[in-house]
Amino acid sequence: MPRPLEPPPSRWQFPCTARAQAALTGPGEVVGIGADLQPGSLLAAYRCGLFPMPTGGTIAWWSPDPRGVVPLDGLIVSRSLQRSCRRYEIRFSTAFEEVVAACADPRRPGAWIDRQVRSAYQRLYELGWAHSVEAWAPDNRLVGGLYGVAIGGFFAGESMFHHERDASKVALVALVEAMRAGQASLLDVQWVTPHLASMGAVALSRARYHEALKAAVQLPQMQLGPA
């Protein structure tokens, strides 16, 4: 797998410490509004512990406190999920655009992935920074998956979907296994939802998250999928 291509740097400056972000968010989680979704801006934001999510028709940059993460040594895989893992074939980054499109389905509750966001992550994918983890049924249908951004030993999960039972969970299991094999250290899932909590997700304070992030992005770039 070739190394990702570093894009031109962002013309925007993002607050990169837990203290600076706390001063900006107050009781909320949005650090700022605006900027752009160019590849350099996205990578700069992720390296600072931020992620974009549109709100009110504009780009908002989020820093939840606490932050949801899945400990790579703490994943919970139930017996039923183990059976589901044998049901699907896992592929990495063979259908990135289709995965993002499924995650962006406007019929989903809370849909937020618009055309601008889809285009932005497609550019990151083409540069080698964004990846999809896909669950395929035996009849070669894409039935679940997730996508996100990998920097060093850090993976920022953006969204996941499923059309068949446990398909997105199986993709998450495969991602954790690949990260372990690649000696990665931090899987960010933004918030701890009941769905993710059932698989072992925990909440970190913003300060602890930044410590983990700083170490993770300095690790060698993880390899997701076949060489």
The tens digit of pLDDT for each residue in 161-174 reads: 999 999 999 999 99
Whole-number Å distance between alpha carbons of 188 and 144: 19
Average pLDDT over residues 3-14: 96
Whole-number Å distance between alpha carbons of 24 and 14: 11
From 206, 174, 169, select the one nearest 190 (Cα to Cα).
206
Interacting residues of 103 by C-beta distance below 8 A, sequence separation 6+:
113, 146, 147, 158, 159, 160, 161
Confidence at 217, pLDDT banded by 50, 70, 90: very high
Spatial contact of 170 and 88, defined as CB atoms under 8 Å apart = yes
DSSP H or E stretch at residue 211: helix 206-216
From 153, 52, 138, 142, select the one nearest 97 (Cα to Cα).
142
Q: Could you tell me the strand order of the sheet in which 130-136 lies?
A: 89-92, 130-136, 142-151, 154-162, 186-190, 67-69, 202-204
One fold for 18-65 and 68-216: no
Any idea what the Cα angle at residue 113 is, between residues 109 and 118, rounded to 5°? 150
Alpha helices in 26-95 (DSSP H): 39-47, 79-85
In CATH terms, the fold of domain 68-216 is Aminopeptidase (3.40.630)
Name which of 102-106, 122-126, 129-133, 141-145 the model is least confident about: 102-106
Average pLDDT over residues 126-135: 97
Residue type, 89: E
pLDDT tens-digit readout, 32-64: 999 999 999 999 999 999 999 998 789 999 999
Any idea which architecture 18-65 has in CATH? 2-Layer Sandwich (3.30)
In sign, the C-alpha dihedral spanning 76, 205, 54, 214 is: negative
What are the extents of the domains in the chain?
18-65, 68-216
Spatial contact of 195 and 114, defined as CB atoms under 8 Å apart = no
Spatial contact of 204 and 67, defined as CB atoms under 8 Å apart = yes
User: pTM of the prediction?
Assistant: 0.95
